[in-house]
Amino acid sequence: MIQDWNAYRDNLLKGVRKFANKNPDVVRGLGTMDNAATKSGLLEPKIHELIALAVAVTTRCDGCIAVHTQKAVEHGATEAEIAEALGVAIALNAGAALTYSARVLDTHAQLQGN
Q: In angstroms, rounded to a whole number, what is the distance separating the alpha carbons of residues 65 and 52?
A: 8
- The answer to whether residue 3 scores a pLDDT higher than 80 is yes
**What are phi and psi for residue 43, nearest 5 degrees?**
-105, 140
Q: In angstroms, rounded to a whole number, what is the distance separating the alpha carbons of residues 11 and 5?
A: 10
pTM: 0.84
- The answer to whether residue 99 scores a pLDDT higher than 90 is yes
- Overall fold of domain 5-111: AhpD-like (1.20.1290)
- The answer to whether residue 86 scores a pLDDT higher than 90 is yes
pLDDT digits (tens, 9 = 90+) for 5-41: 999 999 999 999 999 999 999 999 999 999 999 999 9
Rounded to an integer, the average pLDDT of 85-107 is 93
Contacts from 13-20 at CB under 8 Å and sequence distance 24+?
13/67
